[in-house]
Homo-oligomer: A and B are copies of this chain.
Amino acid sequence: MNTGLYRDTHCVLDFDHHAAWVDDHHVQLTRKEFELLAELVSSAGEIVPRDSLLLNVWGYGPQIRTRTLDVHIRRLRRKLGIYGERQIETAFGIGYRFQPRPGSATPLHYLEAVPA
């Protein structure tokens, strides 16, 4: 399991508190949504295969047929706002990739909002 913070220009993830901020506003994620996002973010910049996601987030083996991953991806994208579509890319036939925005400026109020 991941700990600490992830942050890029538009997005902050607090692994310890299951909380997320996007562009100045708090985003409420459910447990599975957060776990999925965390899995993607912890490999930010590279493709995470569907099989890995299904295994690590759901514990599903590769033979299980389900659309729940796709549905969760969609809800994540929506909750991430206008950047969601661009930030979570689909690698057709392979998996998904969380694309960090260049730079990693962290507005101070993010840090203040997140107690250690």
Contact = CB atoms under 8 A, between A and B. Distances in A.
B18 A91 contact: yes
A62 interface: no
Nearest to A112: B45
Q: Is the interface of A mostly helix, strand, loop or mixed?
A: loop
A18 B93 CA distance: 11
B31 A94 contact: yes
18 contacts: A17-B46, A17-B47, A18-B47, A18-B91, A19-B47, A30-B92, A30-B93, A31-B92, A31-B93, A31-B94, A45-B113, A45-B114, A46-B113, A46-B114, A97-B114, A99-B114, A99-B116, A102-B116
Contacts of A18: 47, 91, 94
